[in-house]
Amino acid sequence: MHINVIERNDRKLRFVLEGATPQLANALRRIAMMEVPVLAIDSVDFYSNDTAMYDEVVAHRLGLVPLWFDSKNFNTMEECDCESKGCSNCQIVMVIDKTGPMTVYSKDMKSSDAKTAKPLMEDIPIIELAKDEKFKAEATARLGTGAEHAKWQAAKAWYMGWPTVVDKDGKVLVEPCDEHALLMEGSGVLPAKAYQDGKCKVKGEVSPGAKIRNDSSKIIFTIESISGLKAEEVLAKSIEILRDKAKEFGKQVSSL
């Protein structure tokens, strides 16, 4: 198996995976989206809300604010020593206490421990307060997964086979640039792009009878984080979860 990274930053990771099957890529995709635990607000206690916005709507907005968190400092409530009662090892509290006129942003959510968890972005608008309107709430965040609710979804993940242009006999005519897909227009293929000297350049016209074929042995995999975890952290955790599943499956088979 070989991995060639195409694009990498904190929020997005894109790489070419060679020597693996689409089944493996799909397993990683599903785990990255549905089983990697992340921190999100789960419950909100309102002490004052003079606005026209219903408490339920504001609570929903707060739940969708992505939170940065130190994964080493949090357990799921099911695995915590407090037996799901709630403690500093599985929960964290964020307080908002503001008086208008003003717009309340995510930066106004004051964490009880900013070193372990806080809003990932500061300028997400939550609610607008008119003159003398008061808003005070206490939000509690915990770990969860995308399978439970979308607010706990760690990332968007997708993959595709490596596209190549082939003639009617299956012979490869041209491969795409790493940064561009090949496009079909009617029964023909648009001018293909090839990666040359670090730049994408038009290579030339391709026969109208040519087709785009996906090479499933060479997979382009993309992870885009929508949570407080970096894209690489989501991938690493997905691999760890997949490895644990394989071990458990092996134990179950051996016990038959």
Evaluate whether residue 231 is within a structural domain.
Answer: yes
Amino acid letter for position 109: M
Question: Mean pLDDT throughout 93-122?
Answer: 96
- Is pLDDT of 97 > 60? yes
List the CATH number of the domain containing 126. Answer: 2.170.120.12
List the CATH number of the domain containing 173. Answer: 3.30.1360.10
Alpha helix (H) ranges present in the chain?
A: 22-34, 55-63, 231-254
Asked whether residue 158 falls in the same domain as residue 234, the answer is yes
| pLDDT confidence of residue 174 | 60
Domain that holds residue 194: 2-35+154-249
Q: CA-CA distance, 135 to 62, in Å (whole number)?
A: 13
Angle at 165 between CA 162 and CA 171, to 5 degrees: 105
Residue with tokens 């290579």: 203
> What pLDDT digit, counting tens, does each position of 55-79 carry?
999 999 999 999 999 988 899 998 8
Number of separate domains in the chain: 2
Last residue of one domain, picked from the residues 119, 148, 177: 148
Last residue of one domain, picked from the residues 91, 121, 148: 148
Asked whether residue 172 falls in the same domain as residue 245, the answer is yes
Question: Residue 167, SS3?
Answer: coil
Evaluate whether residue 181 is within a structural domain.
Answer: yes
Helix 231-254 × helix 22-34 angle, to 10°: 110
Evaluate whether residue 256 is within a structural domain.
Answer: no
Asked whether residue 45 falls in the same domain as residue 24, the answer is no
| pLDDT confidence of residue 160 | 87
> What pLDDT digit, counting tens, does each position of 216-232 carry?
888 989 999 999 999 99
Asked whether residue 72 falls in the same domain as residue 53, the answer is yes
